[in-house]
Chain A
Amino acid sequence: MDFIVNILALGIPFSVALLLASIGEMFNQRSGIFNLGCEGIMAMGAFIGLLVPYSVGKGGPTPEVFNFFGILAGAGVGALLGLFFGLVVITFKAKQGIAGIGMQMFCVGTAGTLFRHFVGGTQSVPGIDKLDIPFLADIPVLGPILFSHNILVYIAFLFVPLSVYILFKTPWGLRVRAVGTYPRAADSLGINVNRVRFQALAVGGALAGLAGAYLSLCQAKMYSDEMIAGRGFIAVALVYFGHWDPIKIMWGALLFSLAQSFQLAIQGQGINFPYEFAVMLPYVLVILTLAFSRDKKKQEPAALGVPFDREKRT
């Protein structure tokens, strides 16, 4: 029983970075932009998120509030990078897949360069600790699983209903879906297609940056070049897996993070299973889910990956 509680209690905070990044990516794709640079934006978010409290405290104690400034700064940088990606793929109409790879390399490289200059070697920061909700955290079983996490875990899960509301109940959500499905029709109704896409990229980038800052400030409490470890790409795959629907994406994120915590728990039990194969597990899972999630074509935003030019016939 303790074993299962442990897996769940670990898996839920693990899922946060995936959840935030893939909800952000969902906004991008709903508006018709395939942003493979998510991984890189997360790396920049992770670095900036750590840099703020680090440069204030210089490794020593930092007032808690600077951690939250770090989180916000990570999201802000993410939004800016999202807009930069928009410049390349919306303004210049570059091919999105390959541009995303360029974006990823640019961001990971920049984060690494700046990290070596401003921080130097591996530095741990106090980060944001978990918060036991009074009384609720003491409930056996449910307490450690649901009520003993840091504040960002709860905020992240609030983003799920929030994004459902934004996407399906607000005018802006309708516009995002319209420009991702039939931009010409949206344009004829006076919607500025490219502006909505830029907005969606800023939102998606901010969420990816937030996910990165979560990783460096809440999960790892440090920064390293390999810390994102493909989570950005997994987040993109989760959007396919979740059929562009925030709730299904949330289940996907939980599934993957439970696989990860299961792997850690098995190692903790001392079961003799090669470590490398355990680390492989989530990546294999991604390929399998991509291969066997059927009728994905039907629900894909129709204009995904197609630049819009009102002066051209489509």
Chain B
Amino acid sequence: MNKRFKLIYKTSIIFLAVIATLMIGSIILLTINADIFKTYAVILTEPLKNKIQFTEVIIRSVPLAIIALGITVAYRSGTINIGAEGQMAMGILTSTAAALAFHSVPRPLNIVIIVTAGAIGGGIWGFIPGILKAKLQVSELLSTVMLNYIAAQFYTFFLRGPLIDPAELTMGSGTPQSMRLEKTVWLNRLIKGTRLHSGIFLVFVLAIVVYLVIWKTSFGYKLRAAGASKKAARYGGINVTFFIAISMVITGAFSGIAGSVEILGVHHRAIEGVTSGYGFSGLVVALFGGLHPAGIIPASFLFGLLIVGADMTQRMVGVPANMVQVLQGTIILVIVAAQQVLNDKYLMDKVWKKFHKEEV
């Protein structure tokens, strides 16, 4: 088997995977009588055509990238965190509470406190499934999903009760939202007239940190070893339980940070619907980005594009925005199926022999 064959084999599988994704999406589009090519064209190009839409894409990709980086850490240690949605909600609650509690603190310190509070809130919410998995073998898939529903209820409880804007109660309509945060903690807007904020720099910092910690330290090595083979890692003297728990705390903290950045940069207060599916989309970004920071940053941009684009299809071609969920689900299914085929050396060997019968 030569290198050229391997390359052709792998690219053709990836090509087939892309075709399969588009085909499955097209079947759904056909069912609702939509113009397939126009829909895809609108999703992929329309948001890039003007400045505001373009920055909106980047704004969406910031929390996606942060969450995906966190999910990568968990995935590398052998746990699948699908609780980012709930962890993000808890992070928003704690960082909003911190922002409202501290007043006369200098700006840089205050922002650090708020983001740390978000990380702690999300981290605690990640610790619960982590410790349950490590100590009691509770499937983290189920416990994180349940914690998502619980967090959603906590979130509305706090926004309707303890954290509600007093002005909403006295003269407003009682909309469940917190008080507006002070201007001093808002993240800077980078381009006038858009919502693009300086949180984007944090993405690059966190990406580098994740890369260095996971691939260049012994901590990261042990974490990946625990994920690659539990038995071998344990035999090698690695405390697998610890790494499972800590990796879930890290993903939770990242989701919490994503929540506080979203609050400080975009909304400036906790409102309903901030998390809006970022948790699950973050999982798709992490998988699509090959579970590596260098892949996640472009992937987060692509999925930000998908989210903004899907909003536009609703207006322009009458395709419901739920289509983005269809595509995301399809992408997960196709990626996990293709991964297995790509890694199957035996299958590759078979295909090789089929094409080179005369040589063998």
Contacts and interface: CB of A to CB of B under 8 A. Distances in A.
Q: Is the A/B pair a real complex? A: yes
A106 B333 contact: yes
A146 B286 CA distance: 49
Interface in A273-314: 274, 276-277, 279-280, 283-284, 286-287, 290-292, 296-297, 311-312
A229 B149 contact: yes
A179 B207 CA distance: 43
A103 B142 contact: no
Contacts of B328: 105, 109
Interface stretch (B4-12, B152-160, B297-305): B152-160
Q: How large is the interface on B (under 10, 10 to 19, 20 to 34, 35 or more residues)?
A: 35 or more
Contacts of A98: 80, 287, 332, 336
B324 A109 contact: yes
A95 B336 contact: yes
A112 B141 contact: no
B152 to A, nearest CB: 9
Contacts, number: 151
Interface residues of A, number: 51
A290 B142 contact: yes
A165 to B, nearest CB: 29
A99 B143 contact: no
Nearest to B336: A94
A92 interface: yes
B342 to A, nearest CB: 11
A110 interface: yes
Nearest to B137: A297
Most buried by B among A117, A240, A279, A311: A117
Interface of A: 36, 40, 88, 92-95, 97-110, 112-114, 116-118, 225, 229-230, 233-234, 236-237, 240, 274, 276-277, 279-280, 283-284, 286-287, 290-292, 296-297, 311-312
By Cβ-Cβ distance, the 6 closest A-B pairs, closest first, are A109-B325, A106-B329, A102-B332, A105-B329, A112-B322, A92-B337
15 contacts: A36-B141, A92-B337, A94-B336, A101-B80, A104-B329, A109-B323, A109-B328, A230-B146, A276-B156, A276-B160, A280-B149, A280-B154, A291-B138, A292-B136, A296-B137
